[in-house]
């Protein structure tokens, strides 16, 4: 593996380099500015880039944006001090992983391996989409981009979000339908979009907007695809995964990923219907789940295709990772995060057996029981 370190502090570069060269299969190059790093990339191929956020001249976010545009197959990691985390969060769409200063060698290695693993899945899915010569994949929905731009500003208000939603009566109806559903258990019905946004929160509304517009974008799915089943599974998975995580930021990621976890199936049924039908036929003869059959037949699963599309749309890589790995999370037994939360929630929604000890270990058994009672 070839790793490029970019930090204006020589001591940081040398410290990381000493940490990483202990792995004989890794070669490590260090430099002290984004401009120097781009010159290196013109001449040398890299697998991973670790860049500091704050650097004179071109900062780390600007540098990684250029890398994302010019060298999209490279795994990108941002290095940030505690006071820079707000700045680093703005790089969510161009970086795969975050590293805090300081980090242990175990943390650094785990982050590098996770970033590379995700990027390899996305590269593989992108190759399949290119080989298949799919002439049109829908762009990210305009109203989602507009809403996302507003939410990325410091002065976004409930009134502003409601105003954007009001431009689309169908979306407004969806938001009102959700806030008045049994999952929120409100004593009175809410009929005002602004109040609904206040109750749901910005992140939930953003995920719902994207999910709704995704359904509209893939309208040629054929008669053997059930929209009702798709939407029910997506919404239930999102709602349950969100409840598993006490951290609001992680819960928001899990919710959005839960809504979108099967978007790769929409690519299959609308753009690769022959392959989708082949998977369905194979499922009639095998007990293997669809993603196992897809991997065996084509080398790429619907989860990887979905992650690839969301990456192309510029969604945060935490969401991309949770969608890509929702069938096969890494370290699911060790820690609960958005990836494992979506995986466990989806299994429960589909009626699969989930180890009760795993639910107790992650302290989510009560959340599962409460959800099952509401969903009944």
Please state, in angstroms and rounded to a whole number, the distance separating the CA atoms of residues 189 and 181: 9
* CB distance 347 to 354 below 8 Å: yes
Q: Ramachandran region of residue 182, left (φ > 0), alpha (ψ -120 to 50) or beta?
A: alpha
Dmax (CA) for the chain in angstroms is 64
pTM of the model: 0.72
User: What residue segments make up the domains of the chain, in order of their start?
Assistant: 2-119, 142-375
Superfamily of domain 2-119: Response regulator (3.40.50.2300)
Angle at 276 between CA 271 and CA 281, to 5 degrees: 160
Pick among 1.10.3210.10, 3.30.70.141, 1.10.357.10, 1.10.3720.10: CATH of 142-375: 1.10.3210.10
Supply 309's token pair.
């599309």
End-to-end CA distance of the chain: 50
pLDDT of 131: 46
* CB distance 342 to 330 below 8 Å: no
Q: 296 by DSSP, 3-state: which?
A: helix
* CB distance 48 to 137 below 8 Å: no
* CB distance 218 to 234 below 8 Å: no
Closest listed residue to residue 208, CA positions, set 229, 185, 178, 237: 178
Low-confidence ranges of the chain (pLDDT < 50): 85, 131-133, 135
């Amino acid at each position: 593996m070839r790793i490029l370190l970019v930090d204006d502090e020589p001591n940081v570069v040398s410290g990381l380099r000493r940490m990483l060269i202990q792995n004989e299969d890794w070669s490590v190059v260090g430099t002290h500015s984004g401009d120097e790093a781009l010159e290196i990339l013109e001449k040398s191929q890299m697998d991973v880039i670790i860049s500091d956020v704050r650097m004179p001249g071109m900062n780390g976010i600007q540098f990684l944006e250029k890398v994302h545009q010019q060298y999209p197959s490279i795994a990108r990691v941002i290095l940030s001090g505690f006071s820079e985390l707000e700045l680093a969060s703005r790089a969510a769409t161009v970086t795969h992983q975050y590293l805090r200063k300081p980090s242990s060698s175990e943390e650094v290695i785990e982050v590098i391996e996770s970033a590379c693993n995700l990027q390899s899945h996305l590269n593989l899915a992108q190759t399949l989409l290119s080989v298949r010569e799919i002439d049109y994949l829908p762009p990210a929905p305009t109203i989602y981009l507009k809403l996302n731009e507003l939410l990325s500003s410091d002065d976004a208000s409930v009134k502003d979000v409601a105003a954007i939603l009001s431009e689309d009566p169908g979306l407004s109806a969806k938001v009102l339908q959700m806030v008045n559903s049994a999952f929120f258990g409100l004593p009175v019905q809410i009929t005002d979009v602004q109040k609904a946004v206040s109750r749901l929160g910005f992140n939930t509304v953003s995920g719902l907007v994207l999910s709704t517009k995704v359904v509209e974008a893939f309208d040629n799915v054929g008669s053997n695809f059930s929209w009702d089943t798709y939407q029910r599974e997506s919404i239930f998975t999102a709602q349950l995964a969100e409840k598993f995580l006490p951290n609001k930021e992680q819960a928001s990621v899990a919710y959005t990923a839960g809504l979108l976890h099967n978007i790769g199936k929409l690519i299959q049924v609308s753009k690769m219907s022959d392959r989708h039908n082949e998977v369905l036929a194979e499922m009639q003869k095998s007990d293997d789940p669809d993603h196992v059959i897809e991997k065996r037949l084509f080398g790429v699963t619907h989860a990887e295709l979905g992650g690839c599309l969301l990456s192309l749309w510029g969604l945060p890589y935490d969401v991309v990772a949770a969608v890509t790995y929702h069938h096969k999370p890494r370290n699911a037994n060790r820690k609960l995060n958005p990836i494992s939360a979506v995986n466990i929630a989806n299994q429960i929604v589909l009626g699969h057996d989930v180890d009760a000890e795993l639910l107790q270990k992650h302290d989510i058994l009560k959340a599962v029981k409460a959800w099952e009672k509401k969903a009944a």
